[in-house]
Structure 1
């Protein structure tokens, strides 16, 4: 009996170490009538890239914004690193946020700051004891990881859309996050640049051992990056599987994403 209990405890601990994000029965309504999330349940395991598909307005971006506290859900549970983020105070939530990178659709760079200043500002905000040389070295390292070290003195207005996405990603990577949330990382980019960003997401996963959720409409991005795909419909997870499994789904609505 004791041995059985120990085995159960060991398995539970192993599961906890594997599970990076767990969402249970997540609900969110806007304006009293727009029921965007109506009971979303999902799990993301360590080292996994999960892609979430869905029509516009289906709640994909709302889901990941709830994870980092940018949107407060009406109901549900969100466990990140084993902590229910909805029960954390501001200080505790900030500690979790530092371990999570969030790449916004626009890249969200500060227009009045150079690339160097954008990255340095983020780093100094969270690591105040770094010397000027340490900040500079980490800025260069982050830019090299996205192939844009030569853009260090440029202003955001001088960068193409693809370059802005890369710089936004470098700013995310500078804090060495364990989880990265990508919100439409290839939106507005041409086919070649979109593929480059998708390949960069894969490269980051392999080199930095990150865990990711990728929100996208870009099926080429989904095919290249996804270990697993979930499809949101009417506020719940409607289907789940690999790209190949969902492409051959018996569900005509699910197959429509792959046509």
Structure 2
């Protein structure tokens, strides 16, 4: 298995040694379908980890276990040094507040404007904010994703790329320390996909976030990854940098880069 290259002084983000995410021997089955069969990996502070794998390899299930949306059958899931598999729902919610999740379809409320979508999320977790502070936070986060002018639009008025940006803004408004991206560029044209990938990199550099990025989009993987793991048959088949894996002699691994 390829190993992560040592961090050099030229790396733009300083990554601490202690991982913010550490998954050990994670198992998950649905009936007789064994999806995860002992997956182990970690993510350092400020690191972008890309997860690749064919459809059904368990990529999305792994990150859903990470936030308790799906219960693991067995294994340890340490987030910020706490094993979330041992937490009750209130304790788990305290961890979830520190984690942003960008769903594949952006998951906006169609009956709410952009302002209302963002405000709804913020009000649930920051109840003491004044109306002025709430508005300022909404404006700031929209400007950070380049969509300040969309504040009064409805989701139906937004393009696919704009919806992704608004979904990302809703994730960022709570200032998460970890962001989980589930197919962030799926369904987007090449130019918009590149813009979303570049925005993800800007967020990493500006906010020092740690991220897990599930994608089939290899240009996105190349732009955003510090390290890549590839799942096969419920286990990690290989890991390394984009450049290392692209040169792999394993034909199955190389098939991702064609």
TM-score relative to the length of structure 2: 0.93
Distance in 1 of aligned mates of 2:33 and 2:18: 34
- Which residue is 1:65 aligned to? 64
Residues 182 and 214 of structure 2 are in contact (CA less than 8 Å); yes or no, is this contact kept in structure 1?
Answer: yes
In the alignment, structure 1 residue 197 sits paired with structure 2 residue 189: no
Distance in 2 of aligned mates of 1:145 and 1:63: 29
Runs of 4+ in structure 1 displaced over 4 angstroms?
Answer: none
Distance in 2 of aligned mates of 1:103 and 1:43: 20
Specify the structure having the higher radius of gyration (Cα): 1
- Which residue is 1:150 aligned to? 149
Secondary structure of the residue that 1:71 maps to in structure 2?
coil
- Which residue is 2:104 aligned to? 105
CA shift, 1:18, in A, is 2.5
Distance in 1 of aligned mates of 2:16 and 2:44: 9
TM-score relative to the length of structure 1: 0.93
Secondary structure of the residue that 2:174 maps to in structure 1?
coil
Distance in 1 of aligned mates of 2:132 and 2:47: 34
In the alignment of these two chains, the number of paired residues is 244
Distance in 1 of aligned mates of 2:185 and 2:26: 26
1:186-206 deviation digits (Å, cap 9, x = unpaired):
000000000000000000000
- Which residue is 1:25 aligned to? 25
CA shift, 1:16, in A, is 8.4
Secondary structure of the residue that 1:147 maps to in structure 2?
coil
In the alignment, structure 1 residue 217 sits paired with structure 2 residue 191: no
Distance in 2 of aligned mates of 1:16 and 1:188: 35
- Which residue is 2:163 aligned to? 164
Secondary structure of the residue that 1:42 maps to in structure 2?
strand
Segments of structure 2 that go 5 or more residues without pairing to the other structure are: 1-14
Distance in 2 of aligned mates of 1:133 and 1:162: 28
- Which residue is 2:95 aligned to? 96
- Which residue is 2:246 aligned to? 247
Residues 99 and 177 of structure 1 are in contact (CA less than 8 Å); yes or no, is this contact kept in structure 2?
Answer: yes
CA gap of 1:16–1:223, structure 2 versus 1, over 3 A, is closer
Secondary structure of the residue that 2:77 maps to in structure 1?
strand
Secondary structure of the residue that 1:123 maps to in structure 2?
helix
Segments of structure 1 that go 5 or more residues without pairing to the other structure are: 1-14
